[in-house]
Chain A
Amino acid sequence: MEFGFSDEDLAFAEEVRAFLRAHPPERFPEDGMDAGYGSGPHSRAFLQALGSRGWLSMCWPRRYGGQERPMIRKLILLEELGAGGAPFGPLAGCDQVADAIIGYGSETLRREVLPRIARGDATFWQGFSEPDAGSDLLALKTRARRDGDHYVLDGHKIWSSHAGIADYGLVLARTDPAAPRHRGLSMLVVDNHLPGMDVRPIRSMTGRVYHYEVFLDTVRVPADYLLGRENEGFAQLLRGLDTDRFWGRFYKPPSMRRILGQLVEYANTTKVSGAPLAHDPVIRRRLAEVATDIAALRMLFYRVGWMIERGMPVSAESPLAKVMADETGQKLMALAMQMLGAYGPLRESSRWSRLGGQIQHLYQASLGHTIAGGASEILRTTIATRGLGLPADRARPSGAA
């Protein structure tokens, strides 16, 4: 049992830090809103910079252009990017799709899409939720009909993060309406530029666009762009769910640590009634408490990663870490708003704003986290039933996660 890193891994961490010093985040154009998960804004240019270092594919099998590096390298990359405030918003989505294509994609997908992902030239939106299918994802109705060499998609997806600026959607659709709800679903990689794709922005409460709704009207997707097997989409989704939640949140602890550092600096240099805010015992204690929460989260996430690498099931551990990460994020941002006082609501463009006017944005953004990717209420039930072996509530419909 040990919690250190090898010399090579430490050297890689320093390599990433040196890269970030040479390519500061501010230099990269921002294409899409920072949703506050710790991966910063969506920046295609930054993704391409990572791609040019080979870092987007470094853990892939060699036959797909990777270097078969151990998973710890990816963890270190994410930790340093999160700690450094880098704009790597689309990264987790790219990783998720790449792993799925490598695992069970067609040769066409492996040939046509993987290299683009490796270069940072392909980003993805997740097409799962629909207006009537959120926590009850199995209620989804988007239809995919096989027609010769294509699937024809008709339907309506919503809460699709960054769909308007991404290249492809990973769309979960019903290929067999006669089958039970959890069967008969398939996953398809859908090019945003296909005819029939109507992608409309949704303004979030932050004032910026983050989510989109996507109307699919007779969209013809090549059959080779089916991911995995027809009618096994939900099983594939479930298999990937725990790892996907992990990759989408692993970088939250280092990112929160970075924000905490900004708050400490603010507390040390801001005077309230003649004394630094750092000497206010309430603020001091709450900052220290959230520091302990972040430290605990970092350990929990490394443990989930360690378990995933060993092929151990993480059906309780992964949702547990996600819930705690998102609730801690809300606690941190609420504390930050409290510390800023009257300055808290000032936005970026105000000359009087403090900490770049970012706290109000991240505070608002954090509200969505306990809803997205598995609402905390659902996940607590998952932890109890799949993790602690408690009986499912008989009032719930069968076949749900």
Chain B
Amino acid sequence: MATLLNKGQYLLITSLYFLLSACSSVPSLEGDVIAPKVKLPNQHQELGVMAAYPDPWEGFNRRMYYFNAKADRYVILPIVDGYKKITPDLVETGISNFFNNLGEMSTFINALFQLKLSVAGETFGRFVLNSALGLAGLVDVATPIGFKEQNEDFGQTLGFWGVAAGPYLVLPLLGPSSLRDATGVTFDALAYQHTIDAMAMSSEQELWMTFLDSIDARATLPFRYYASGSAFEYDQLKLLYKRYREIQVAR
């Protein structure tokens, strides 16, 4: 394994590791501070799901969560709102369908990796139908006739073959993930790139396409940071993400 990593990569990985674990999230207490009156409940057995997922990189994660919330509000959402304003709904749906259709390839591959033949078959059917009859994916003709949309990614494939999720990790802009799922994201991005390559576009066109894809992805996700109004949103979302991925992997 060590031979595979050249020195630069090794350095990158070690510094990343330090970056992740260095930032503290433990309260730094001033002199006249008094401990909370309510005792901490006995962890684990008494708290069930609430204490189920440790968060060794919390310091880094919380900073990234904060960054994401700000970036979303001041950069991404204004672009998304502008996009929604200038494009007619019909066009938006078309674009959304188009990118969903491109995403089917990665779902298909991952379903095969997990030996889920019926899921793979259904996904392949969707891809062929929508590409051929749905104007290269702009119209979703497969769903109304019973080809349901599936969801598989490389994170789930790894999970299927027994790779543990690893620590919770908040990715820049992408948000909640884990060490395993972040690896999966990279793989899926490669698979996606292959699909794009097959369309033989100029690199500038590809850039615009990726940009549009990102805007569409954000526009179709109704999540808004701190819409819950809860100071505990970070913890709640972490719990939700971890649990939801377990469910997906088990599916």
Interaction A to B: no
